[in-house]
Amino acid sequence: MILVLAAVWLGLWFAERLSRPVGRLTTAAQQVGTGDLDVQVVEEEGDDEIAMLGRYFNQMTRQLKGNARPCWTTPARSRRGGGCSIPCSVR
């Protein structure tokens, strides 16, 4: 009986260990989807897929933030001579 309880506990611990970083990535991806490029996730230790995904996510948001062009610098604004009707874009 103790062995069964230990196996269940170990399984639950392992599932929670995997799901926590994925949940954080999901929340962060939603924030990026709303335009928040300042979001970063906690980078897990190790070289497994979950840890690498967190590192690559943070790298992606840094690159997106560096490539984002404010609306007021788009050529469309200068051609129209005023307010920009084009949403801010990423190159």
| pLDDT higher than 90, residue 57 | yes
- The percent of residues above 90 in pLDDT, for the chain, comes to 45
Assess contact for 40 and 58: CB atoms under 8 A. yes
Length of the chain: 91
Residue type, 34: T
Q: Which residue has tokens 């690159």?
A: 63
All domains of the chain in start order, with CATH: 21-65 (1.10.8)
Q: Give residue 50's pLDDT.
A: 87
Q: Give residue 69's pLDDT.
A: 64
Residue 62: which H helix or E strand, with range? Answer: helix 49-67
| pLDDT higher than 80, residue 49 | yes
∠ Cα 89 34 55 (to 5°)? 90
Assess contact for 28 and 60: CB atoms under 8 A. no
Q: Give residue 48's pLDDT.
A: 87
| pLDDT single digits (tens) 34-44 | 999 999 998 88
